[in-house]
Amino acid sequence: MGQQGGRTVGIHLTHDGEYLGLVGPFEVDGAWWSAAAPVVERVSEEVGVPVLVLRLAEVAEGGGGSGGHVVYHVEALERPAGLMPRQQGADIAALLGPAERRAGWATPSGLRATLDWAERTLHGVGRPVAGPVEQVRTWNLSGLFRYRTATGVDAWLKAINPAFNSREGEVIALLGSVDPTLVPPVLGADPAHGRLLLDHVPGDDCWGPSAEVVADVVPRLVAAQTALAADGRAAASGLRDRTPRALLAQVDALLDRLEKAAEPSGAEPSGAEPSGAEPLGAESSAADGPGPAGASLTVEELAAARELAGRLPALVADLAACGLPETLVHGDFHPGNWRSDGARTVVVDYADSCLGHPALDGLRPRQYVSEERWTQVAEVWSRAWREHIPGSDPERALKLVEPLYHLAYAVRYQEFLDHVETSERPYHEEDPVNEIRAALACADAGPGGTARV
């Protein structure tokens, strides 16, 4: 999606364990906090050596991941001339010091280890690096870097937190086993550390997709999902369980936490983990997360959410009656994750992949495209499912799933908050509550107050 304006930036600069001071503020192009490239370019000019952004440290103003004044921790890869080490005050030491849940690539040593792994891997597959790494994006969920290689074809390094994300290389291999043209080629993977190297995919990200792109990519995903459901490999893949019946318990658990945090007296502090509650990530422990989202529901909204949760089992039964199989779900199937050169479209970014209902993917493009294009997406998606599963009712499934769609994203966004450090929470602080409100709005919009049926 497009963006307007920019942001002002300040950076705490370090090199090899030494603090070199605060640089800035200055303006950079691009409003998104995660857009690292303009920050790297400007800071490198300022200090005269190559640098890389480690993480977001502070935000003033702005919101929704963009705008305002943003402070980053930046590591200089070489010692800048004329800058001497400085004593850190207690506040800066706390800001830059170790923190629970910090991403593996967001420390100087972790970032260097990640880049060393990528360069060794590229050399091992006959694609030695031919220039300095280019940092494209870094935020609480991932780091994205581009390498120019000696073959003339670029490679992309993605680093994620393996504690709450799928093993993308394995998901790509699974989808690629039924349609190798649907996924990017993998050059190397280190799932234990959340590292992935991908071959360059020609073309552009499909914000504002054409009718031809929709007609190409949507039926191919449906075909792959059908095949993986039919042979049982999706169910046996070990993917995070986001099937409708699993979501019933996950939504109840999230509402329990939000209610506990909203209690006016006798409750634990809002930043504390409610007694007996665990973060929502599949591989987490009770110590992993600082608690529910910062935003809160009103008493009336919580009551309405509980009432909606009570109606979900009937909705899930109606959804099952539509006849679509539970299968591998991309998890974020919006057009920005489609990449096309006009001849073929490739789907990227599988960190949110899970086992779930395919209508979760079917509905995802709607908020990113025009009404005209959404009408086409819905028609193409429904026609593809009817062809693969005769007698199914994908049109009804697409309508029924909407409250569950928003609640699934509320659960997922809470997983983000449970697994990122405190300074990075502003990226998603209000998202779980906003998704619950969206579920309430669409549930109240249809006949019987269930969904737009």
**pLDDT at residue 443 greater than cutoff 90:** no
pLDDT in the model for residue 264: 65
CATH 1.10.3470 fits 211-449, yes or no: no
pLDDT in the model for residue 195: 97
Percent above pLDDT 70 for the chain? 90
The answer to whether the pTM exceeds 0.85 is yes
pLDDT in the model for residue 286: 33
**pLDDT tens per residue, range 377-404:** 999 999 999 999 999 999 999 999 999 9
CA 374-380-385 angle, to 5 degrees, is 125
Span 367-375, average pLDDT: 97
pLDDT in the model for residue 275: 31
4 versus 177: the higher-pLDDT residue is: 177
**pLDDT at residue 278 greater than cutoff 80:** no
Percent above pLDDT 90 for the chain? 83
**pLDDT at residue 307 greater than cutoff 70:** yes
Handedness of CA 299, 305, 309, 311 (dihedral sign): positive
At residue 63 the predicted structure's pLDDT band, cuts being 50, 70 and 90, is confident
CA 325-331-337 angle, to 5 degrees, is 125
Domain positions in the chain are 6-96, 108-200, 211-449
Span 33-38, average pLDDT: 95
Peptide bond into 394 cis (omega under 30): no
At residue 281 the predicted structure's pLDDT band, cuts being 50, 70 and 90, is very low
**pLDDT at residue 221 greater than cutoff 50:** yes
* Mean predicted lDDT score pLDDT of the chain: 90
Q: Give CB contacts under 8 A, 24+ apart, made by 342-347.
A: 342/203, 344/181, 344/216, 345/203, 345/206, 345/213, 345/216, 345/217, 345/220, 346/181, 346/182, 346/183, 346/184, 346/201, 346/203, 347/175, 347/182, 347/183, 347/217, 347/221
Class of domain 108-200: alpha beta
At residue 274 the predicted structure's pLDDT band, cuts being 50, 70 and 90, is very low
**pLDDT at residue 371 greater than cutoff 70:** yes
Q: Are 6-96 and 108-200 equal in CATH topology?
A: no
The residue written with tokens 């001071």 in the block is 21
Class of domain 6-96: alpha beta
At residue 444 the predicted structure's pLDDT band, cuts being 50, 70 and 90, is confident
pLDDT in the model for residue 1: 38
Distance CA 411, CA 242 (A): 10
**pLDDT tens per residue, range 291-302:** 676 678 999 999
